[in-house]
Structure 1
Amino acid sequence: MNQECTRKLQTATRDKLRKFNRLRGREVQPGEFWDVVVVTAVDGSQREAYELQIREKVDRRELPLGIQYKVFSDPPGSKIGNGGSTLYALQQLNDIYGKTLDKLRVILIHAGGFSQRLPSASALGKIFMALPLGDPIYQMLELKLAMYVDFPSQMKPGVLVTCADDIELYSIAEEEGVKFDKPGFTALAHPSPLSVGTTHGVFVLDPHEKSSHSEMENTSCLCFLHKPSVDKMRESGAVCERRCGLFSLSDTEFVYTDSTYYVDMDTAKSLLKLLKELGPLDCEIDAYGDFLQALGPKATIEYTNNTANVTKEESSLVEIRQKIFHLLKGTPLNVILLNNSKFYHIGTTSEYLCHLTEDAALRRELGLLSSTFSVNENSEDSSGYCVMYSVLDPSCSVGAGSVVEYSSLAAGVSVGRGSIVSGCWVSPGLSVPDGAFIHSLCVNHQHRTMFVTVFFGINDNLKRSVDAPAYMEKLKFFGLSMTECLSHWKMENKDLRFSGDSSSCSLWNACLFPVCSDQQSSFSLSLRMLDAVLSDSAMPLPKGTELMSMQECLQCKNLEEMLKLRKGLYDAIRQRRPSN
C-alpha cells in the first residue's frame, strides 16, 4: 500500500474514532446512531455475562446513551451457527418491537462461541476484548461501533450483520457515503490476495458494469463463493486484475472478499418466515456461506451439497440449505467495493499478538499504543509489547511481542517474549516464560469462590479432539505428549480426567489446572507446573490438589467476582494515573 493510501486510511479511521468519542456518554439524537445494538450469545450464561458488562459500560458512560442494547442467546440444544443466531435474533426483535421494527436500523454483532482459539476471551466474551486505545479504554464493542459510526445515517431500516472478532478499516472520498438503501442484501467487499480468498467469501462481479476507478464503487454480484479454491475463483470469473484506481493492494491479481452485510427489512422479514417453516434448528447454519451463496442471478443449488467446510455435518443440513436457497433465490446481492480498505481478523492467540504488538500498519491506522489505561512507568521505552488495563511495578519487564491485560504485576516480575498474561495477579520475582498463554479465572467451586489459572502454549490447539486412550501421545501440550507432562507433575495416566464427554479428549476438556483459594497462589502454582514441564524437572502437586479443565472453568465461572476484580483494577489505575 503506497503512502498516500495509508495516509487516507489513517485519516479516515481517526475521523471515525473522533465521531464515536463525541457520542460516548451522551444521549444520541434520532437518526444519529443505531436504534438497536444486538449482540448474540451462545447460551444463557454467556448472555448474562454480556448484559452485565454492557450495563456497566452504560453506567460508566462508555457507550452512546438513549438507544437499546440487546443480548440474544441461542436456544438450548444443538449448535446453530451464526446463521441460526441471525434467524433467532430476528425473531426476538420481531417479538419485542412488532410493527415498529419496520422503522428501525439495527446492528447485529455475532459474539457467541467459546473462543477456544483465544481463551482469554472465553469467560467474558471476544466482543469485550480490550484494545490499546481510547480513554476510557476501548473494547471490541466500541471499536465495531466506531468503525461503522457513519452507517446509520446512510441506511434505510434494516439489519447490519457483522462479527465480533474482525476489524474493517476503509477510506472513501469526502463527497461519498457508504449507503445501505437498496432492497435485498448489500455487502461490503475488500480487495484481497487470492490466498485470502480461499478462507473467506468471494464475490463474482458483473464484468459488464463499468468501473469508476474510485475508492468506493457500487456494483452488483453475479454469485458468491464460500472459501473457494484458486481454480474455482478463476473458473467463476472472480479474479480481477489490478488497475490504477485500486488503492489498497499491490498484487497483480486479487479477489473481492466479504466482511459485513446489510439486509433490508422486507428481506429480514422473509427470513423470519423461513425460521417458522424450519422449526427448531438442529444443525449449524452459516450467515455468510448459507445465505449469500443463494443470492445473485448466477447462484445455483449445487453448493447445498458441499459440506467440505462444515465442522460437524448433520443429516438435516442439506435440506435446510435447499430451503434457504429457494426462499432467497432471485434476491439481489448488491456490493460496495471498498478499494482502499483493510480487513483484520483477531480470533486466535497468534493473530492477537501480531496485531497488537507487531503490526506497524494497524498500529498507525488505529493509533494503537504500547501501554493503555495502565500504571506502567516503563511504557515510554516499550520494545514492541502491549500493556492494557494493568498495574505494573516499575521494576517489571515485558518481552517483545507480549500482551499483558487486566493484571497486576509485583516487583521484579518478568514476562518473556510472545506471551499473553490475562487476568492475573503475579507475586514478586516470578518469571513468565516465552510463548506462554496464562489466564486466571474466578470459579464457584463447592459453594466457595476459588481461582484457576490455565496455561497453554501460544500455538497449542485447544480444539483438536482425539479418542481415548490415544490422547496420551496425540495431544500436544507445549510440544510434549500428555504422558510426558503428567510425569513432571508425578501423575499417572489414569489420574487424568476429562470433563464432559470423556470419549472426546482435548486440551479444552483436560483437567490439568489446580483450584486455589486466592488469585496469587493460583498463578504461582500453575506457573510452577509450567516451569517443571519446560525445564524437564519434577513438581509434585500438593496433596489434595483438585484439578479443573478450561471447559469446567467456564461452566462454573463467577462473573460478578471477575468483574469486581476488574473494577478494583479500574479504581486503582484511576487513582494512580492522571486522566487524559
Structure 2
Amino acid sequence: MAYLFQRYKHDYCLAKNASTTAFPEMKKLLTVPPAFKKFGNDYFADENYFFGSDPEGGKVGSGGGTVNLLYDAWQNEGAEGKLEDWLANEKRLIIHAGGQSRRLPAYAPVGKVFTPMPIYRWKRGQKVDQTLISLQTPLFNEILTKAPDNLNHLVASGDVLIRTEDPLPEIPDADIVCFGLWEQADKASGHGVFFSKKNSPKELEFTLQKPSIDKIQELQEGHLFLIDIGVWLFSPKALKVMFDRCGWDDASNTFDGKTPSFYDMYTTYGQA
C-alpha cells in the first residue's frame, strides 16, 4: 500500500482550484438515500451518473457500501464477463452521499452532495444553480486523469469540499493511494489519522481512528502523521480484495447471502 502526502485544505463552503484546466468527466457512481435512487437515475440519465443505495436491513460499512455500489453498477451494465475485467475497463469516481444528513436535514432525501452552494466572488466557472458535487468533481476528475492507469477508481466522501492551493504532485503507481492533510495533534485526534515512518514518509504504516492527543504525541518520535480527508485511489486488484473480504463468490458472481458483509474501509483496510 502506498500513501501520498500532499498539503490539502478542506472546507465546507469554499472552492478554490489552482488550475482552470478542464479535465475529462469520469463516470460518477453515487450512494444516495433509497428514495432518491430511481429519480436520480432517471433525471441524470444523460449525465454519466449511476445512483445506488446501501442494502436494506443492515449496515455494510464504507467498504461494503463501496463494493455494493460497484456491483449494482456492473449489474446495470449487463454483468457480462468477469468482475475483474469490468473493474479494469474504465476510470470511475465513487462518492458516498447516502448519510442521514442530521446537520442538513432539508437535504437528507437527496443526499448532501446536492446541497446548493453559493457563488463566490473572484472565482471562475461558477453557476447560479451549482451544488456541492459541482464543486467537488473538478478536483476528483483531475486526480483520476493524472493518476497512473492502474489507479482507476477514486472513492470520496460526499460531505466535504477539498480545495487545492498547489498543483498536484506526481501520484505513485500503487494499489492504493490515500490523500491526507497535515494538522496539529489536537485537531487530528477527531479524525482518522495516517501514520508513516519518518524514514519512509510516503508509505503508510498504519491508521488509527480518532486517537487521543497523548497517543499521537507518543507516536510522533518515530512517525509522521496526517488526517484522512476521505479521498482514496484504488486499483482493480485492491477493489477485488475488498470484494473478497465482503463475501464475494467468484463461482456465482454474487455475494454470499446476496449482499456484502460488513467491512469498514477506513479502519480495517487501512490497517492492512
Is 1:41–1:72's contact at 8 Å kept on the other side of the alignment?
yes
Structure 1 pair 19–54 and aligned structure 2 pair: CA distance change class (3 A)? farther
- Name the counterpart of 1:166: 160
Structure 1 pair 199–54 and aligned structure 2 pair: CA distance change class (3 A)? farther
- Name the counterpart of 1:262: 233
Structure 1 pair 115–283 and aligned structure 2 pair: CA distance change class (3 A)? farther
Structure 1 pair 14–189 and aligned structure 2 pair: CA distance change class (3 A)? closer
Quote the offset at 1:205 in angstroms. Answer: 1.2
Match of 1:225 among 208, 223, 227: 208
- Name the counterpart of 1:37: 28
Query: Counterparts in 2 of 1:323-338, with a 5 A limit?
Result: none
- Name the counterpart of 1:378: none
Q: Which amino acid in the other structure matches residue 131 of structure 1?
A: M
- Name the counterpart of 1:150: 142
Query: Counterparts in 2 of 1:392-431, with a 5 A limit?
Result: none
**Counterparts of 1:190 and 1:89 in 2: how far apart (Å)?**
27
The gaps in structure 2 that reach 5 residues or longer are 1-6, 8-14, 120-125, 250-254
Structure 1 pair 53–19 and aligned structure 2 pair: CA distance change class (3 A)? farther
**Counterparts of 1:103 and 1:283 in 2: how far apart (Å)?**
25
Please give the per-residue CA displacement for 1:19-71, whole angstroms capped at 9, x wherever unaligned: 35xx7xxxxxxxx332x21001243x23124335534xx5xxxxxx5xx3111
Structure 1 residue matching 2:193: 3-state secondary structure = strand
**Counterparts of 2:100 and 2:220 in 1: how far apart (Å)?**
37
**Counterparts of 2:52 and 2:182 in 1: how far apart (Å)?**
33
Give me the identity figure in percent: 20
Please give the per-residue CA displacement for 1:478-529, whole angstroms capped at 9, x wherever unaligned: xxxxxxxxxxxxxxxxxxxxxxxxxxxxxxxxxxxxxxxxxxxxxxxxxxxx
- Name the counterpart of 1:101: 87
Query: Counterparts in 2 of 1:161-310, with a 5 A limit?
Result: 161-173=155-167, 177-179=169-171, 181-209=172-200, 219-237=202-220, 255-259=225-229, 260-275=231-246, 276=248, 279-280=256-257, 285-293=263-271, 295=272
Q: Which amino acid in the other structure matches residue 232 of structure 2?
A: Y
**Counterparts of 2:17 and 2:242 in 1: how far apart (Å)?**
36
Is 1:183–1:267's contact at 8 Å kept on the other side of the alignment?
no
Structure 2 residue matching 1:202: 3-state secondary structure = strand
Question: Is the radius of gyration larger for structure 1 or structure 2?
Answer: 1
Please give the per-residue CA displacement for 1:311-342, whole angstroms capped at 9, x wherever unaligned: xxxxxxxxxxxxxxxxxxxxxxxxxxxxxxxx
**Counterparts of 2:61 and 2:32 in 1: how far apart (Å)?**
11
Is 2:196–2:203's contact at 8 Å kept on the other side of the alignment?
yes
Is 2:68–2:260's contact at 8 Å kept on the other side of the alignment?
no
Is 2:245–2:263's contact at 8 Å kept on the other side of the alignment?
no
Match of 2:59 among 41, 56, 79: 79
**Counterparts of 2:222 and 2:227 in 1: how far apart (Å)?**
11
Structure 2 residue matching 1:221: 3-state secondary structure = coil
Quote the offset at 1:164 in angstroms. Answer: 0.8
Is 2:116–2:131's contact at 8 Å kept on the other side of the alignment?
yes
Structure 1 residue matching 2:234: 3-state secondary structure = strand
Q: Which amino acid in the other structure matches residue 279 of structure 1?
A: D
Structure 2 residue matching 1:33: 3-state secondary structure = coil
Is 1:87–1:271's contact at 8 Å kept on the other side of the alignment?
yes
- CA-atom RMSD in angstroms: 3.0
Quote the offset at 1:94 in angstroms. Answer: 4.1
- Name the counterpart of 2:11: none
Quote the offset at 1:139 in angstroms. Answer: 0.6
- Name the counterpart of 1:50: 40
TM-score with structure 2 setting the length: 0.75
Is 2:17–2:163's contact at 8 Å kept on the other side of the alignment?
no
**Counterparts of 2:221 and 2:103 in 1: how far apart (Å)?**
31
**Counterparts of 1:163 and 1:144 in 2: how far apart (Å)?**
10
Is 1:203–1:238's contact at 8 Å kept on the other side of the alignment?
no
Q: Which amino acid in the other structure matches residue 182 of structure 1?
A: D
How many pairs were matched up? 238
- Name the counterpart of 1:19: 21
TM-score with structure 1 setting the length: 0.37
**Counterparts of 1:233 and 1:50 in 2: how far apart (Å)?**
42
Quote the offset at 1:119 in angstroms. Answer: 0.4
Q: Which amino acid in the other structure matches residue 70 of structure 1?
A: F
Q: Which amino acid in the other structure matches residue 198 of structure 1?
A: S
Is 2:154–2:232's contact at 8 Å kept on the other side of the alignment?
yes
- Name the counterpart of 1:352: none
Is 1:151–1:178's contact at 8 Å kept on the other side of the alignment?
no
Quote the offset at 1:184 in angstroms. Answer: 2.2
Which of structures 1 and 2 has the larger relative contact order (alpha carbons within 8 angstroms, sep 6+)? 2
The gaps in structure 1 that reach 5 residues or longer are 6-11, 24-31, 59-64, 211-218, 242-254, 296-580
Is 1:33–1:153's contact at 8 Å kept on the other side of the alignment?
no
Structure 2 residue matching 1:148: 3-state secondary structure = helix
**Counterparts of 1:119 and 1:183 in 2: how far apart (Å)?**
39
Q: Which amino acid in the other structure matches residue 91 of structure 1?
A: Y
Q: Which amino acid in the other structure matches residue 19 of structure 1?
A: T
Quote the offset at 1:85 in angstroms. Answer: 0.7
